[in-house]
Structure 1
Amino acid sequence: MFGLFKKKSKLDQLRDQYAKLQKEAFDLSKTNRQLADQKTAKAEEVAKEIEKLKQEED
């Protein structure tokens, strides 16, 4: 109940965005390969940002 209004960290937001992009890319891969590749590329950019944040935390 108390965590209801808790804001997500930047890392959690990026992880959610990465998962969303991967799902969209998978769904698009069945109909439009070019758009699926674009979504995958965006997901990889997000993955790089996640790795950068992880390294900064250490």
Structure 2
Amino acid sequence: MFSLFKANPTKKLKKQYEQLVTKAFQAQRNGDIRSYSLLTDEAQQVLAKIEQQTYK
């Protein structure tokens, strides 16, 4: 009944994923390939967490 008021961790992770992808895109456009690679890797890790929570 009170699950309506609980925070949704998947929603938070999706927002974090979108922010990382946006930062990676901007780094790539600026020619900073190292930052792009690091941010993309971090975004993939967050996406894996999202998939784990989705399939539980």
Identical-pair percentage: 24
In the aligned structure 2, how far is the partner of 1:34 from the partner of 1:49?
A: 23
Report the TM-score, using the length of structure 2 for normalisation: 0.84
Bigger RCO of structures 1 and 2 (CA < 8 A, at least 6 apart): 2
Question: Runs (4+) of structure 1 moved beyond 6 Å?
Answer: none
In the aligned structure 1, how far is the partner of 2:48 from the partner of 2:20?
A: 14
1:1-58 aligned at under 5 Å gives the runs: 8-31=7-30, 32-56=32-56
Unaligned runs of 5+ in 2: none
In the aligned structure 2, how far is the partner of 1:26 from the partner of 1:7?
A: 32
Q: Shift of residue 8 of structure 1?
A: 4.0
41-50 or 7-16: bigger deviation: 7-16
Which deviations, in whole Å up to 9, do the C-alpha atoms of 1:7-56 show, x marking residues without a partner? 64100000000000000000000220110110000000000000000011
Report the TM-score, using the length of structure 1 for normalisation: 0.81
Counterpart of 1:55 in structure 2: which amino acid? Answer: Y
